[in-house]
A and B are shown apart, each in its own frame.
Chain A
Amino acid sequence: MTYEELPDEWKEWLDLTPIERFRESEKIFANYLAMGGSLDPDPDPTSPFYAPEEWRPDAAHGRAGLRILRRGAG
């Protein structure tokens, strides 16, 4: 995606200084954690570091605070 195609919110992000971006990122990160976000890496079979057996299966994707009660078929 080119700069011109970016949404306004992202253009505002690019208008910040690098240090301002880092500080804002810290706030986003804190909110993510407050909402129960997981720090596990996203499951990515294309990564050389991905090992399914090391994946923590009790964490729903992206939300460690959520527990899977039932898995759908397939």
Chain B
Amino acid sequence: MGGQACVFYGAAQVSKDIDLVLFADADNYERLLAAMRELEARRIAVPPFDIPALERGHAVHFRCSAPGVEELRVDVMVRLRDLPPFSLLWERRTSFADDTGLTFDLLCIPDLVQAKKTQRSKDWPVIELLVDIHYRENAGEPRPDWIEFWLSECRSPELLIEIVHRFASQAHSLGPRRPLLAAAKAGNHGALATALDAEARAEMAKDRAYWEPLKRELEAMRRAERQTPS
């Protein structure tokens, strides 16, 4: 997931770290830790590698030191805000394989878009580009679930106006769920831009509320670590 997935999909050119979402299972945790040992990775920052903390939504951060991956950061999560359990994410993942048979399993674009709806302002242009790329690549053979995805998530005013007019009946059905579609239908660029901005700010506030108790926990963990003699 994260920036590396965005590279595959075309919405980023490089990512400085690797973000993994993991199936929360004892055997899987063992496999993760074995991989981290192979990468000579040490846990950095808080929280510690703690399964209940991961399951509450925390991310555990590692930094590698094995030759070839020195300083590379790996972040691991098992739960993502407003996304379904791992089993469903896995079922609808996107997989790419290279000519050596190496497989890359990624969050599908709609799940990645949801995962990117964070309080971090830098994630929002990426969401916009991910949806635009998905539309550009699939507009020729639209599927009902994709039409719903484009109408629900498109953040480029011009493109949203185009999509709303192209799929007018679906846009009408989704109107109660995404009121700004009315501004797109009316071609009111100013109102649409304002509504898109408000939509992003509301989602950022939702993310901040989700993280608030987790941040309090992180701060308590930092205090505890500072007080622990090394």
Q: How far is the CA of A39 from the CA of B207 in the complex (A)?
A: 25
Contact of A41 among B16, B125, B128 (CB under 8 A): B16
What's the A-B contact tally at a CB cutoff of 8 Å? Answer: 87
| Residue numbers in A under 8 Å from B222 (CB-CB) | 51, 53-54
Contact between A2 and B120 (Cβ–Cβ < 8 Å)? no
Enumerate chain A residues within 8 angstroms of B208, measured Cβ to Cβ.
Answer: 48
Q: Say yes or no for B17: interface residue by CB 8 A criterion.
A: yes
Q: Given A18-B9, A48-B214, A48-B215, does the pair A2, B158 have CB atoms closer than 8 Å?
A: yes
| Set of chain A residues within 8 Å of B218, measured between Cβ atoms | 48, 51
Question: If A1-B129, A44-B122, A51-B45 touch, does A21 touch B14 (CB 8 Å cutoff)?
Answer: no
A63 → B minimal CB distance (Å): 13
Q: Is the CB of B120 within 8 A of A19?
A: no
Interface of B is mostly: mixed
B51 contacts A by Cβ under 8 Å: no
Bin chain B's interface residue count: 35 or more
A3/B136 in contact, CB under 8 A: yes
Q: Which residues of A have CB within 8 Å of B96?
A: 18-19, 22
Q: How far is the CA of A50 from the CA of B92 in the complex (A)?
A: 31
Judge whether B156 and A2 touch: CB under 8 Å.
Answer: yes
B22 at the interface (CB under 8 A from A): no
Residue contact A44 to B120, C-beta cutoff 8 Å: yes
Q: A47 to nearest B CB, angstroms?
A: 5
* Contact status of A22 and B104, CB under 8 A, knowing A2-B158, A14-B10, A39-B73: yes
Do A49 and B125 have beta carbons less than 8 Å apart? Answer: no
Contact B10 A13, beta carbon cutoff 8 Å? yes
Bound: A40/B129 CA distance, A:
25
Task: From the candidates B97, B129, B211, name the one contacting A48 in the complex (CB within 8 A).
Answer: B211
In the complex formed, the residue of B with least CB distance to A54 is B45
- Find chain A residues with CB under 8 A from B207 CB: 48
A-side residues, CB < 8 A to B, are: 1-4, 13-14, 16, 18-19, 21-25, 28-29, 32, 37, 39-41, 44, 46-49, 51, 53-54, 64
The 10 A-B residue pairs with the shortest CB-CB distance in the complex, in nearest-first order: A48-B211, A18-B8, A39-B71, A2-B156, A25-B7, A14-B10, A28-B14, A46-B120, A18-B96, A19-B98
